[in-house]
Amino acid sequence: MIRVGIAGGAGYVAGELLRVLINHPEAEVKYIQSESHKGEPIYSVHSDLLYCDLQFADIDFNDIDVLFVCMGHGNSAKFLSENTVPQSVKIIDMSNDFRLKADAGEFVYGAPELNREQIRGARCVANPGCFATSINLALLPLAAAGILPQEVTVTGITGSTGAGQKPTPDTHFSNRSANLSNYKVFTHQHLGEIGETLVAAGAAEDTDIAFVPVRGCHTRGIMSDVVVRLDESLEQITEIFKRYYAEHPFVCVSDKPVYMKQVVNTNYCFISLQKSGRKLLVTAVVDNMMKGASGQAVQNMNLMFGLDEMTGLRLKANYF
């Protein structure tokens, strides 16, 4: 059994991670750390886990095989600098502290659809961001085929869980309910990792992504609509996508339009392609809490420990 420790265990991402790991056939959750809830039962925060008898407690780093760091951006690097984690312990970080090459150190960027073999041999993995996951998966096949144009336009809509557990005036339910608003237009923090990922796959360094993120009025799920202009036919592009993802079990290329309910509560990304003239629309849908965060982190753990990457992640969407 893989002995698991989770640092920063009170947030949405950690809660979702717990829900997956306590049912994972090869994992045992040993420690869940939270400074603000130390000594309390897990269900005092994650109330649906009433059947789980774990408590928030400090982590014995000598008694785990893998550490998931689920702290806010900027806090992961601080936590790891203040705590000595043995070299024998693998680390999967959920923040953006180690995603960019300039900050990565020994961290491998945890996108299995690009870096599967590097992840298998890594000690430390930086889990990708949620929007970055959906947009990268929409564009990686085009970058790898050498046909991704310089200009890319993206509109992405995300659920409220993507804003974290602590409400703000813009993210509070009363503001998001029956409402839509955009934010961080052209400046979203995931653009850096998206650019580096696409370049690693074969895109030009000067690829220009115009990204408009939108706050949705739903709880979870991301839909990214990506528009590029290409001369290749829809049939040619569909073949490029299906060939690229043939060996990647969590990405499905659909012959029909896709929508969020198909993937919510799963670790899948569904992709559809539509073309009119030179304009190509690539739609990618993911669950921001699963493939966009905790599910992908468990997928990376599986790879790092030599397991089938789908272990513990064969989950069914809540369709209705």
Supply the residues annotated as catalytic: 130
Q: Which two tokens stand for residue 11?
A: 């947030």
Contact 281, 225 (CB under 8 A): yes
Kindly state the tokens that stand for 290.
């699963």
Picking from 111, 156, 159, the residue whose alpha carbon sits closest to that of residue 261 is 159
Alpha helices in the chain (DSSP H): 12-21, 75-82, 101-104, 112-120, 130-144, 173-176, 191-201, 234-244, 295-304
CB-CB contact of 269 with 251 (8 Å): yes
Bin 76: left if φ > 0, else alpha if -120 < ψ < 50, else beta. alpha
Residue 221 phi, psi dihedral angles, 5° rounding: 120, 145
Contact 199, 205 (CB under 8 A): yes
Tokens representing residue 204 in the block: 């030009």
Which residue, 137, 156, 138, 142, is CA-closest to 230?
142
Under 8 Å between Cβ of 251 and 263: no
The answer to whether the beta carbons of residues 309 and 28 sit under 8 Å apart is no
Six-digit token string for 93? 């970080």
Helix (H, G, I), strand (E, B) or coil at 234: helix
Tokens of 261: 């309910």
Tell me how far apart the alpha carbons of residues 284 and 287 are, in angstroms, rounded to a whole number.
10
